[in-house]
A and B are shown apart, each in its own frame.
Chain A
Amino acid sequence: MTDKATMLEQVDVQGAVALLKQQFPDAVKDDSRQGYSGVIVNKDSLVEVATYMRDQLGFDYLSSATPVDYHGIEDSMEMVYHAYRTTGGSALVFKAQTDRNAAEIPSLVEVWPGADFQEREAWDLYGIKFPGHPNLKRILLWEGFHGHPMRKDWHEAYYEEDHKPFESRWPEGWVRRAEEMNVYGKNVNYPADLDLSKLSDVSEETLYNDLGLGTSVQHLGSDDQLKTDRLVVNMGPHHPSTHGVFRMIVTLDGETIESLEPVMGYLHRNHEKIGERNTFLHNMPFTDRLDYISSMSNNLGYALAVEQLLAKGARYSPPTYRAEVIRVLMVELTRIVNHYWAIGFLLNDLGAFFTPALYAIAEREKILDFFEATAGSRMMCNYMRFGGVFKDLPERIRSVAVKVNDMVRDYNTMDYLTELINERIPRSIDELDTFLTDSEIIKSRTIGVGYLPPDMAIAYSAAGPLLRASGVPYDVRRAEPYSIYPELDFDVAVRYNGDIYDRYIIRLDEMRESVRILKQLLPRLEKTHGQEIFAGNKQHTPRVPVGESYGRVENPKGELGYYVVSAGDEKGPQNPWRYHVRAPSYINLTALGPMCVGHKVADVVAILGSIDIVLGETDR
């Protein structure tokens, strides 16, 4: 034990890589491709190496596992893993390569259960098989879908070109709706070998058959007990408390949950496929629509990922100080907005219909007014750029343009922010606190419900408030600081009980910490007033050097990561070859099933609400 502790202190990531190579001389080699980092692990000894990494080197947290299809470059596929230590520090990146035609990589679910959904996604979208995976079936699409759409040679019905911008838009851009090109007038495309006799919906059958339904009636308990059947209850995708189009299939024994299977993909809008066709800049407004409640933070994560890539090139100027201050301002305001929303709707799920939500989101409108004045839109801010932000803060929240209503929101921006940060937001946080924290109803519904122990939280790759409410003080802003967080004074909120109540309390704590950060930003904004907000020239098609990068930020919902690969000049100089989003909502759901088992069916929505998911990000 002492050995391990000292090793954690002394061995950094380079040292860990060296140790790995020493331990597995045949299986581990450096990734020597230009712009790449980490190691390539022979897939046959992947599980062994991963176990060593977790147990001996201390990389206990698997952040992201994602496939890349190198069709046309190397004709191979690889899985890219990013493992971290929950004590902080940068990533140990390792990859396993496989043949495209018979893609197969051993499953790492045994080592990190958090790989579960990510491997299922890899199977669904890339067709990589994972021997050893307990439940390898499609997750975002439905059973029976033709092909694996994220493969580079798979084209959808409205396919036009590999890369944007499309030729047909300019200079001979006579408009054509994409529907017109399709015989069916719809976005559909059937395989050539369509079997007409089998045109039926198999997805639902498969779903329920796996639960043992339709085969035989199962009796629970021994003969002398009450004879009950298992009851399977389907919740969603249309349900008022699933926070969007999320679906759960719950197997019940009486009122008690035996197992819960999340079903998702009802908002799978092909973010990554579109993202690989887009240019680097095109993706910025698309990231708004991931976690649509906190678009500013999504922007920041993506900007960081691409800036990491740009930094590999010769001509790169990092964002100016004022740009960084504004970025942090926006991101922390977003965190407050998100937590208002999360708390309000958690209470909605507990049965306090809409009143707490109304109180919580009333103040949100004021923050959105500020976003609208600065970025142009209430929700889809599209505010960050590579190397800065879109525009400086406006002088005034309202312009002088419209005479009618010109008293509305006509404030000096700094006055507005000062009032908001020093008065209004703290007041409303306190109000929520008074309103809810001591309420006996809330306490009895939440304390001890949905318990997630710290070791399990880490194993399931839980992130954000979910992880920290279980007593793991892991926050990317401190673990691997970015932007100007190192110079800001704040605490990582942490709670130790790991139940719904603590997840609620920790959001209040985080909002208060955010206010603390915002108060420190105000003098910085004053001081940097008038300084540049953009370094270098603003380009719409920056030349992005070859390589990979993983940019991650502490989003309100947890760790948001972007894995971006630039294949460089020969394969489309402006388009990412791979664009992957490590969505906190998606991976946090891995722990939903285990958390719900043993609780009553009414607690499911509360537990789900306490995770705080958003479907735009879950399904992407």
Chain B
Amino acid sequence: MAQLDLRELNNTEFPIPDEMQGNVAITSLSKLYNWTRRSSMWPLLFGLACCAIEMIATAASRYDLSRFGMEVMRASPRQSDLMIVSGTVTKKMVVPIVRLYNQMPEPKYVLAMGACASGGGPFKEGYNVVSGIDMYVPVDVYVPGCPPTPQALLYGLIALQKKIDGQSLANMDDVPWYGVGPSEPTPVPILGPDIIDPRQMDLIRRQAELAAKGLPYGVRELPPLKPVSTPVLSKVTPKAAAPAAAAEADDPAKAERQRKRDEALARKRAGEGAAAVAEAAPAAPASGEKKKFDKAAMLEQIRQRKASKG
């Protein structure tokens, strides 16, 4: 099944005579790079929770990851290309995860397996749970499910291969690691009184000043619930979130490009504090007709919540 077929590589612009089909391939450099990269994606041998068991089941005989060139699970991050974040990410664990991510050589990919790794999952409300690994490291593919079945994980891995197939070496937004100079490592979070993202130091400082003055802090003043896709965190990251939203309005393809660029930019600019928030920016879901909402009641609710916290 897993035989090499050169036709996979063919670049359609150059016709190959029938008799040479399968013996000769003419291709572009990008395609060759992508093909090699996606065909030998070595995952990090790295399990967090329940999903890890399904990941092992996927690697075992019945689903057999090796059909995708992924059976070589490396325990060392230095030898792996793909981090399958399989399970609940806790605050205590996110520190090693970011370190592992930093230690992985580029090009590197992250797959968030299951609801917990994608967005906190059923344990999201917990005090020690990170609501999505994408708050700390950029994620390429999300696989929903609790836990995703082995077939769902395989689907996610194929989706990742698709994504790699679509990358272009000419486009630095796609492949930021081929750019000039070494890339910045993702700052490792600190276990303080609560987990601290070094990129948010300024924000924390400002909030601490508010708290010192006895003002409400830590809770966001929310706009009334109008489910339009306004970037909610635009105050924090005007550069990263706002353009994407603006572009989105007129052309979806353009928006997609813009988003990719923003993502790559954010990745690059990780040290400046944009990445995590841009990834996290929880755009309210776009949906059809929405009703007017009682603003006064909502504000009152927020005030009450603050009062009870303070």
Contact = CB atoms under 8 A, between A and B. Distances in A.
B130 A187 contact: yes
Nearest to A143: B191
B236 interface: yes
Interface in B246-283: 276-277, 280-282
B75 A142 contact: no
B147 interface: yes
Contacts of B57: 361, 365, 378
Nearest to B192: A199
Interface stretch (A127-135, A268-276, A517-525): A268-276
B229 to A, nearest CB: 13
Given A183-B203, A379-B50, A268 B195 contact: no
Nearest to B99: A238
Given A174-B225, A240-B75, A269 B126 contact: yes
B48 to A, nearest CB: 6
Contact of B222 (A180, A199, A269, A292): A180
B54 interface: yes
Contacts of A269: 49, 88, 90, 116, 123, 126, 128-129
Contact of B125 (A175, A265, A274): A274
A274 B218 contact: no
- Describe A's contact surface by its main secondary structure: loop
A141 B195 CA distance: 11
B208 interface: yes
B61 interface: yes
A176 B193 CA distance: 27
A160 B125 contact: yes
B233 interface: yes
A71 interface: no
A545 B273 CA distance: 52
Contacts of A378: 54, 57, 149
Given A266-B93, A357-B60, A146 B220 contact: no
Interface in A167-189: 172, 174-189
A155 interface: yes
A461 B194 CA distance: 33
B53 interface: yes
B293 A178 contact: no
Contacts of A277: 125
B53 A379 contact: yes
Contact of B92 (A141, A179, A182, A194): A141
A207 B195 CA distance: 18
A190 B194 contact: yes
A379 B54 contact: yes
A280 interface: no
A598 interface: no
A336 B201 CA distance: 50
B220 A268 contact: no
A198 to B, nearest CB: 8
Nearest to B126: A270
A201 interface: yes
Interface centre among A196, A245, A270, A358 (most CB of B within 10 A): A245
A535 B118 CA distance: 39
B52 to A, nearest CB: 7
B122 A187 contact: no
A214 B205 CA distance: 31
Nearest to B236: A185
A537 to B, nearest CB: 27
Contacts, number: 221
Contact of A237 (B96, B146, B194): B96
Contacts of B52: 244
B191 A142 contact: yes
Contact of A192 (B130, B197, B217): B217
A289 interface: yes
B48 A194 contact: no
Given A185-B282, A190-B218, A179 B87 contact: no
Interface in A252-280: 265-271, 273-274, 277
A569 interface: no
Interface string B42-61: 00011111101110110011
Given A157-B127, A187-B130, A286 B122 contact: yes
A292 B50 contact: yes
Interface string A375-390: 0001110000000000
B100 interface: yes
Given A179-B280, A180-B220, A238-B100, A199 B92 contact: no
B39 to A, nearest CB: 22
A245 B205 CA distance: 32
B270 to A, nearest CB: 15
Interface in A497-542: none
Given A185-B282, A361-B57, A378-B54, A244 B49 contact: yes
A187 B92 CA distance: 13
Given A184-B200, A378-B54, A616-B50, A270 B192 contact: no
Interface in B38-84: 45-50, 52-54, 56-57, 60-62, 75
A201 B217 contact: no
Given A174-B293, A192-B211, A267-B48, A185 B281 contact: yes
B190 interface: yes
A158 B293 contact: no
Given A141-B92, A188-B195, A190-B207, A183 B50 contact: no
A25 interface: no
Contact of B204 (A175, A178, A194, A270): A194
Given A144-B193, A184-B203, A244-B49, A268 B131 contact: no
A140 B126 CA distance: 13
A175 B284 contact: yes
A615 B49 contact: yes
Contact of B218 (A172, A189, A616): A189
A200 B192 CA distance: 6
A201 B197 contact: no
Interface of A: 140-142, 144-146, 149, 155-160, 172, 174-194, 196, 198-203, 237-240, 244-245, 265-271, 273-274, 277, 285-286, 289, 292-293, 357-358, 361-362, 365, 378-380, 615-616, 619
Closest 8 CB pairs of A and B: A270-B126, A156-B127, A146-B193, A292-B50, A269-B123, A177-B282, A174-B225, A192-B211
Interface of B: 45-50, 52-54, 56-57, 60-62, 75, 87-88, 90-93, 95-96, 100, 116, 119-120, 122-131, 135, 146-147, 149, 190-197, 200-201, 203-205, 207-208, 211-212, 217-220, 222, 225, 227, 232-233, 236, 276-277, 280-282, 284-285, 290, 293-294, 309
Given A182-B219, A183-B217, A616-B49, 13 more contacts: A158-B131, A180-B220, A185-B276, A187-B91, A187-B130, A188-B196, A196-B204, A203-B191, A244-B49, A266-B96, A268-B90, A274-B123, A380-B146
